[in-house]
Amino acid sequence: MLKQNERELTPQGHRILIVDDDPLVCKITRELIFRNTPHNPDTANDGIDALDKHKKASNTGQGYDLMLVDLMMPEMDGTTLISEIREYDQDIAIIVITGRGELSEAYRLLKEFQISDFLYKPVNSTDALLFSIENALEKSRLRLEIQQHEKLLEERVLERTNALRNEVAEHKQSEEKLDHANHELKETQAQLVQAAKLASIGELATGIAHELNTPLMIIRGNSQLILENATESLVPQEILQSISQFVEQTDRMGRIINWLRNFSNQTLFESIPIRVNDALDSLIPVSEQFRQRGIQIEKNYDSSHFFVLGNLSELEQAFIHLLTNARDALEGIEHPTLKIQTEIQSQKQQEDTVVIRFIDNGHGIPQDVIANVFDPFFTTKEVGKGTGLGLSVCYGIVKKHHGHIEVSSLRDSIDLSDQGHGGTTVTISLPILQKFESENLEILI
């Protein structure tokens, strides 16, 4: 069954409605169409009757294909009827039957309501009437065919458009994956470069430590020998005090050399229990640089004895990068201060973590670039003063230890420091291996 206003594209068996207030005209026209065409004619005596028949036929799926409409009718004239029908049916063909005095109205309807044709009363030529009917039906058929082709074309265009959109989306996803892969490759290359540099520095540090240790032990041994055997009568007190200072400084240099040896010789990728507080305190060379530059270090460690599982060399490397960045950020500050804090944070549904904070009162980082600090080769330092790899390497090390690192700065916001600078805070969170409230267990570090 056809839907409302939906018609078959066939040249035979069309339904035609003849609308005229003259019953004789309706009868003659109906007989003429019935005898000379394969079509099915029907009649209506006025506009109201025609509109009612058209609506009922359309609702049953058997709508009319053509209407012959007289313009001059009582109750509802042809113009009103055509206007009413065109509000819900744009496809039906309409031929207007008009007197010569109504020619201007017929032209208006032809333009405004897509009238197929108009004939003059009285219609004396059978051939003219039949030709107008077949011509109107053919126009309607072609128009419906064009509409169906347009609909099919629109569907194909929409289908192709959606396919292109999917292709574009897939292409965009591929580009994003490629960009992500390139970014990871860039980070890996940067870390390899940094690792190669550190390996070279480690070998150099081992050699230097060995070369320095021998003469240092000679100086220290002779100084101790002098102090043990010298008396104030033979050696002035001022010289004895200077020699005593020699011994103290050679002891300090010895500790630095031992730290360099340990840092350079640690096995790569070896995971052991690490006491974080001790690892932070063991960075003697960096601490000496802070002392020489007048930078005050304030330590506030958690009192419980906790451990993390990781690679000591890599964690020390990350800590050194962060301390070095803080040292450079504090340059030119009137009262430079670095706070190092550790704190245990207990999680109900997750493992406990140790939070390590490095807080300086330096120049801070602008808010518009702080999101890029972990990108390889990104640096806020002057040209020649930074490689842009430090925080990128720290990020990789922390992630490798299943931790989290973030950077915050108060620059460009409310000033909370004593020196008029925002300062920077680097926070590292690492999962805890074990925690003890008292030192009654020795760990292998």
pLDDT of residue 438: 41
Residues 280 and 421 in one domain: yes
Confidence at 198, pLDDT banded by 50, 70, 90: low
CB 319 within 8 A of CB 280: yes
For the record, the structure tokens of 235 come out as 């050696």
Residues 236 and 291 reside in one and the same domain: no
* Beta-strand relationship, 15-19 and 66-70: parallel
- If asked whether residues 235 and 277 sit together in one domain, one would say no
Q: Count of domains in the chain?
A: 3
pLDDT at 250 over 70: yes
Question: Residue 404 maps to which CATH number?
Answer: 3.30.565.10
Give every strand in the sheet of 40-44, ordered side by side. 40-44, 15-19, 66-70, 93-98, 117-120
CA-nearest of 273, 351, 269, 285 to 319 is 285
Question: Does any domain span residue 204?
Answer: yes
User: Quick one: 295 and 415 in the same domain?
Assistant: yes
Range of the domain at 236: 185-249
Stronger pLDDT, 12 or 107, i.e. the higher one: 107
What is the structure's pLDDT at 431?
Answer: 92
Whether residues 322 and 429 fall in one domain? yes
Among 30-39, 138-147, 268-277, which is the least confidently predicted range? 268-277
User: Among 71, 89, 124, where does a domain finish?
Assistant: 124
36 and 96 together in one domain = yes
Are the CB atoms for 406 and 418 separated by under 8 Å? no
Percent of the chain with pLDDT over 90: 20
Q: Is residue 429 part of a domain?
A: yes
Can you give the CATH number for the domain in which 53 is found? 3.40.50.2300
Please determine, for residue 437, whether its predicted confidence score (pLDDT) is greater than 60: no
What b/e string do you get for 108-142 counting C-beta neighbours within 10 Å, with b at 16 or more? ebeeeebbbbbbebebeeeeebeebbeebbeebbe
pTM higher than the cut 0.75: no
**Does 139 map to a domain?**
no
103 within 8 A of 72, measured Cβ to Cβ: no
Distance CA 216, CA 370 (A): 45
Q: Name which residue leads in pLDDT, 18 or 251.
A: 18
Does a structural domain hold residue 172? no
**Per-residue model confidence as pLDDT tens digits over 261-305:** 665 555 455 788 989 998 888 875 677 778 888 889 899 999 888
Within a domain: residue 148? no
Verify that 319 and 229 share a domain, yes or no. Answer: no
78 and 193 housed in the same domain: no
293 and 430 in a single domain? The answer is yes
Q: Where are the alpha helices (DSSP H) in 266-339?
A: 276-281, 284-292, 312-329
Print the SS3 string covering 366-384.
CCCCHHHCCCCCCCCCCCC
Statement to judge: residues 425 and 290 lie in one domain: yes
Confidence of residue 325 (pLDDT cuts 50, 70, 90): confident
As a whole number, mean pLDDT of residues 100-128 equals 77
Do 205 and 328 belong to one domain? no
In-domain check, residue 170: no
> Is the residue at 143 inside a domain?
no
Asked if residue 2 belongs to a domain, the reply is no
